[in-house]
Amino acid sequence: MNTIRYILQKEFRQIFRNKTMLPMIFGVPLLQMLVLVFAATFDMKKIDMVVVDKDLSETSREMIAKFDAIPFYNLEFAVPDETIGEEMLLSDEADAILVIPPNMERNLIRDDKAQVQLLVNAIDGNSAQLIYSYSSRVIGNFNKNLIAEWRGIPEFSPPGEVKISESYWYNPELDYHWFMAPGILAVLVTVIGMFMSGMNLVREKEIGTIEQLNVTPVKKYQFIIGKLVPFWLIALFDLAFGLLIAWLVFDLPIVGNLLVLFAFASVFLLGALGLGLFISTVSDTQQQVMFISFFFMMIFIMMGGIFTPVESMPHWAQTIDRVNPMYYFMKIMRNVVLKGSGFIDLLEEFLSLLLLGVIFLSLAIWRYRKTT
């Protein structure tokens, strides 16, 4: 134990002697939480819509006014022809075009039906679906009110209508920040754990101090523990700091037990740190560690479910995700923080993280060659 204690003292002195370390410990979580949680969102903030009104009737103006009354619809552009609108769609000046054909009001009065055209920029399929859904709802409500007004009834209510009472569990306000904040924290903890542990060991190689350690009677497992524990504690501190920022800035409700969350985080970090140390044992320079770690990080983050649910991925991708520690930790973060899940609810994820942690740490200890 004394050997490990001396190695830990040396590592902590080395870490806090580094002038860039303290800004990274405090600055990285602060910046990631304040920038990424606000920026990384699928919420529609603004829809630039071009209006082509060929009817120029009272009814068409009322329909346009319905869109104009909604804050995130921007109806600055009104053009006489849809070809101009299509050019604006091509140049990304507009997200959608609303085409009101000639004689729309007359057709409504005479035939009780009329058509309008909605053209949507669908390069981003998710945004296109949202624009179509919002716009269809606006036109549908306008149509219902028009029927009620023309037929002289106070409110149009189809017979046998099924009324749906909506209730959103665990995120009742559908606040996207609440969804993203735990995911960003999972990424933050992984970056701190994997990058810093890997960079620290390979830096010893670059400056030559690893040779001095190799000639000492320090055993491999003692050396690995000495390298692992400081960054394990720093990553847990950053997790606590990030949770505090999320609670203060985004009013994130932490429904679950914090002890359970930190217990899972501790096990997850064994795998992240173990992988970082393993990468450092197969690398000779900090650049190599950066490239290899970045490769794994991209796969872990994109397949971990931070933006899209893993259940929507192809079956083969879900199978690969079984060896992705980020997949389990992302699920744990959101379930504990937002749903209040307990240890038993996430027992499978805990055992999977424990197994991955043992594998990665074993690989790091096995690969580290202590030569004289």
CATH number at residue 85: 3.40.1710.10
Asked, for residue 162, whether it belongs to a domain, the answer is: no
**Domain limit, last residue, from 151, 185, 202:** 151
| Domain coverage including residue 3 | 1-40+173-367
**Range with top average pLDDT, 4-8, 181-185, 196-200:** 181-185
**Same domain for 206 and 345?**
yes
For 4, the token pair is 């490990």
Beta strands in 101-237 (DSSP E): 117-120
Total domains in the chain come to 2
- First and final C-alpha spacing in the chain: 23
27 and 78 part of one domain: no
Q: What is the DSSP string of 266-294?
A: HHHHHHHHHHHHHHHHT-SSHHHHHHHHH
DSSP helix/strand/coil, 31: helix
On whether residue 160 sits in a domain, the answer given is no
Q: Is residue 222 domain-shared with residue 73, that is, in the same domain?
A: no
Give me the half-sphere count of Cα atoms (radius 13 Å) on the Cβ side of residue 370.
16
The answer to whether 77 and 50 have CB atoms below 8 angstroms apart is: yes
> What pTM, to 2 d.p., does this model score?
0.79
Is residue 109 assigned to a domain? yes
Residue 350's pLDDT is: 94
- Which is nearest to 118 in space by CA: 71, 45, 63? 63
Same domain, 94 and 146: yes
Residues 132 and 186 in one domain: no
Q: What is the mean pLDDT of the chain?
A: 85
Are 236 and 270 in contact by the 8 Å Cβ rule? The answer is no
- Are 129 and 238 part of one and the same domain? no
Residue 361 forms part of a structural domain: yes
Residue 113 lies in a domain: yes
In this structure, the answer to whether residues 182 and 239 fall within a common structural domain is yes
Same domain, 204 and 272: yes
pLDDT digits (tens, 9 = 90+) for 96-147: 999 999 988 888 888 878 889 999 988 888 888 889 999 998 988 888 888 7
Shared domain check, 330 and 358 = yes
- Residue ending a domain, choose from 121, 151, 181: 151
